[in-house]
């Protein structure tokens, strides 16, 4: 599908776990080629399957990400309180289902304790350094957040500063943030 839409560029999503809190933050920019189509998109969502609080941020195709979020909610309802298992089941389906294989997105998911990156390659990754980032500015945000982890800043302020740095470097990332804290 990327061949059909080569001009679409993405976003930056970061997850930071520190001091008993997990924060997921995402920028609001959607670009087509060199044009900003929208600056206020919401790419971080709070899910509440079965009363469980889960936050997910996505990078990639919006329609694909919404499909994955819906599937994740179903998996969470089938495995209450087991975020890792739900993510693994989603990744298995994503990897093996002919329809889902075509989806182009990545997710950062947290329940306030665990933090995962879920990919279409079948990966469910838990970051070693309590920071995960995806999207076109993900590596910039990741590097900034990792550098800030030893500071006195809390998880939310680390995420905000890292996103500000990424937005100054990556032309596909803006400073209009959606931030969710668990």
Cβ contact 134:106 at 8 Å: yes
E strands, the chain, are 8-9, 12-18, 21-26, 30-32, 35-38, 44-47, 54-60, 105-110, 115-118, 124-125, 131-135, 178-181
Cβ contact 167:173 at 8 Å: yes
Examine the residue annotation and report whether 11 is marked as an active-site residue of this protein. Answer: yes
Look up residue 176 and give its two tokens.
């209009």
Q: What whole-number distance in Å separates Cα of residue 90 and Cα of residue 124?
A: 9
Residue of 11, 79, 173, 178 with catalytic role: 11
Q: What whole-number distance in Å separates Cα of residue 123 and Cα of residue 157?
A: 28
Measured from the Cβ of residue 143, the count of other Cβ atoms closer than 10 Å reads 16
User: What positions carry a catalytic annotation?
Assistant: 11
């Amino acid at each position: 599908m990327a061949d059909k839409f080569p001009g679409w560029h993405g976003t930056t999503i970061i997850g930071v776990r520190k001091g008993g809190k997990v924060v997921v933050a995402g920028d609001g920019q959607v670009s087509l080629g060199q044009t900003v189509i929208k600056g206020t998109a919401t790419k971080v969502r709070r899910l509440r399957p079965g009363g469980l609080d889960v936050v997910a941020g996505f990078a990639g195709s919006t329609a694909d990400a919404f499909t994955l979020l819906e599937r994740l909610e179903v998996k969470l309802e089938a495995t209450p309180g087991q975020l890792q298992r739900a993510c693994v089941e989603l990744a298995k389906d994503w990897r093996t289902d002919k329809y889902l294989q075509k989806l182009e997105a990545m997710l950062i998911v947290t329940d306030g304790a665990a933090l995962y990156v879920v990919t279409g390659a079948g990966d469910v990754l838990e970051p070693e350094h309590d920071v995960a980032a995806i999207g076109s500015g993900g590596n910039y945000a990741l590097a900034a957040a990792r550098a800030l982890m030893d500071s006195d800043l809390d998880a939310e302020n680390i995420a905000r500063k890292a996103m500000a740095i990424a937005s100054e470097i990556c032309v596909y990332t803006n400073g209009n943030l959606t931030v969710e804290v668990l």
